[in-house]
Amino acid sequence: MTDTLAPVKPGRLLINGEAVDSASGKTFTTYNPATEEAITTVASAGAEDVDRAVKAARAAFEGPWGKMKPSDRQRVLFKLGDLILANAEELGRLETMDNGKPIFESKLIDAPMAANCFHYFAGWATKIHGDTLPVNPAFLNYTLREPLGVVGAIIPWNFPMIMVGWKCAPALAAGNCVVLKPAELTPLTALRIGELALEAGLPPGVLNILPGPGSVAGEALVRHPGVDKISFTGSTEIGKHLMKSAADSVKKLTLELGGKSPNIVFADADLDAALRGATTGIFYGKGEVCAAGSRLLVEKSIYDDFVAKLAERAKKMQPADPLDPKTRLGAIVSEKQMNTVLGYVDIGAKEGAKVVAGGARQPVNGKGYFVQATVLADVNNQMRVAQEEIFGPVLAVIPFDGVDDAVRIANDSVFGLAAGVWTNNVKKAHEVARRLQAGTVWINAYNFYDAGMPFGGYKQSGFGRDLGPDCLDDYTQVKSVWVNLE
Ligand code: NAD
């Protein structure tokens, strides 16, 4: 059992370095999905708050942040990384209460990953530069790589703390100011990181945080003429909508959207490792992971045996109290999401899939939106459970016959976010990696991330990149300067 939790203070908006109520005075309640109890209330941002935040961000961009030496920006961002690590226990608990994910993940993986983003991109603050270009001896030609100005960042509920790092660290390192809108279901860690950012020395207005409904605060941010770019992570459906909303002001966009990622197991793989990779590939983060290996493609010659072992492993992964450090399967983020996930189990069964593990709600201590680790066998790739993102602990297992068949099935999806390949044949591994339409391919591994490695989608999984050196292109613009020397 976990110890009694200290009450969480009400959340307020962060605008221009100050914690404030929303202009309308509106608040919403955020709930713990493991206990179904209210955690606290949070101020709910509207269009007026967005306007104030964008103006504060612009003033900071034209003022202290824009004038700061890159080496000073670097120091502040690095310190924020340190503060996130130093507060990992508190951040982990807040994240677990708000999202339902195991504290094992939020404290030991998510908080360090968020810190890793600030540490890594702090280093870039002093290394973003233009070029001198040999064009014509009569001219000096050079480029300036400049920040965009004000970046609006809109993030989902599945990795609230990590997403703050993914979006804010590169945007700030490149010299932009940010207005961040966390998901309405999980605003708490972003607000706490906002406090830590001030403690680290970020000038007021550089990072503003506005929890609130997507249809109100998110929409106002996307439509605001003072915002230069929107960096969005969320569903493909909302991503498509944002492309239309952003068109009026020709805003730059980065879209990190949904996925239905194939995890391919060849008969010549290390099957114990593949089994572990298949399990963590889908059940890590309760399957509420954009890159979850939610379609498991298994070669026919090993299919029956592999599925039997997988079902055995899944049955051992019992949902439990997310605040218990031993728990590996937490609560689904909300009742609505739980019902969506369970609805897909029914759809799969009706389509002819066999439920070989899980498939039901399983409250913990009589409460909570917990869903069992679920394995659907005998799925074919045309079924809805193979084509649509479920975003829960539900694995669809599909048989295949040889390399061409595996690649054909894997690429037969509107999505292209990530993929896994399990084989001990080096040639086959690299050939398949090249042929897969996916932004990330893991070979004999799954679900590895690092601030230094770009992440993003092919096809309807989006465009632009988070992380790695490549994402800095999406947070800067190039100016060509011609100097007449004659
Ligand atoms: P969502 O699209 O419903 O919401 C994402 C964010 O957009 C939230 O902050 C929400 O408030 C906001 N939003 C909603 N409507 C809006 C509007 N009209 N204008 C502006 N903002 C609006 O997604 P979700 O349910 O929070 O998250 C789950 C989805 O996110 C899944 O599809 C998942 O695959 C995707 N995801 C993708 C990645 C990636 O890197 N590709 C990472 C994590 C999650």
Residue of 79, 92, 214 lying closest to 153 (CA atoms): 214
pLDDT (tens digit, 9 = 90+) per residue, 282-304?
999 999 999 999 999 999 999 99
Residue numbers annotated as active site: 256, 290
Q: What is the pLDDT of residue 5?
A: 65
pLDDT (average), residues 420-434: 98
Whether 158 is in the pocket of ligand 1, judged by its Cβ within 6 Å, is: yes
| Per-residue pLDDT at 157 exceeds 70 | yes
- CA-proximal residue: ligand 1, atom 9 (nearest): 183
| Per-residue pLDDT at 439 exceeds 80 | yes
DSSP per position, 123-169: HHTTT----EE---TTEEEEEEEEE-SEEEEE--SSSHHHHHHHHHH
pLDDT (tens digit, 9 = 90+) per residue, 444-470?
999 999 999 999 999 999 999 999 999
In angstroms, what is the span from residue 254 Cα to ligand 1's centroid? 13
Q: How far is CA 265 from CA 283, 303, 383, 434, in A?
A: 17, 9, 20, 16
Whether 435 is in the pocket of ligand 1, judged by its Cβ within 6 Å, is: no
Place of tokens 């003429």: 225
| Per-residue pLDDT at 370 exceeds 60 | yes
Whether 389 is in the pocket of ligand 1, judged by its Cβ within 6 Å, is: yes
